[in-house]
Amino acid sequence: MCELLGMDCNTPTDILFSFTGFSQRGGRTGPHGDGWGLAFYEGKAVRAFVDASPCAESALATFVRSHSIKTMTAVSHIRQKTRGRVKLANTHPFVRELWGRAWVFAHNGTVRGLPRVKTGRFVPIGDTDSERAF
């Protein structure tokens, strides 16, 4: 099952300390080697980093760990797939625009019994149950 890391602060803070330990669970000290992502809110916008490789081995994660990005809200996810292939389109957090702002979603677990409702202009990019639920 996937793991999540979130941060919500009252002053801009970097997530480096927590993300450094968390990222090792993505393939080195944990079984979550099927991709990872990290999203930082900047007002109504989001700066997102996603990679289909294990977080512990990812050059992009190394880059993130070496740069202090301050934010008041961050969401990170390391994936151990249960549905959908290992690929960039299936990595969390997912980011979509609605009402003029970016929304972020990351999920841990399997979503069963999703109804096949029309999603309008919101068409999933990947093939996970989590993104469809989002």
Question: Facing residues of 105 across strands?
Answer: 94
Question: Facing residues of 127 across strands?
Answer: none
Q: CA end-to-end span of the chain, whole Å?
A: 18
Rounded CA separation 53/78 (Å): 10
Q: Is 2 a catalytic residue?
A: yes
Cα 64 to chain center, whole Å? 14
Task: Please name the residues in contact with 85: beta carbons below 8 A apart, sequence gap of 6 or more.
Answer: 127
What angle is formed at CA 120 by the lines to CA 82 and CA 78, rounded to 5 degrees?
25
Q: Name the catalytic one among 2, 50, 56, 75.
A: 2
The catalytic site residues sit at: 2
